[in-house]
Amino acid sequence: MFSLFGPKEPDVPQAAAGDYPNLGTVAPEVKRPPVLDPAGQAQMESSLSALGQKNQQKGDAAEAAAGVP
């Protein structure tokens, strides 16, 4: 009798098994071409290296100015 006052089981529709193939399955690997050619890659690496050295020098100068041991 008191089961009438309990929570109702919701009527949730079930999706077909193939409707969501990316959930729980491994996606196929996509082959992508490289973004830069070898010369562009070398130029990017050298510019990033120079930027890193410049930032390191700025940080060292700021530490020296602040008196950090």
What would the pLDDT profile of 21-59 be if each residue is shown by its tens digit? 665 666 677 788 878 899 999 999 999 999 999 999 999
CB-count exposure of residue 12 (10 Å: 0-12, 13-18, 19+): exposed
pLDDT score recorded for residue 63: 92
pTM for this entry: 0.48
Question: Is 61's pLDDT higher than 90?
Answer: yes
The pair phi, psi for residue 45, each rounded to 5°, is -65, -40
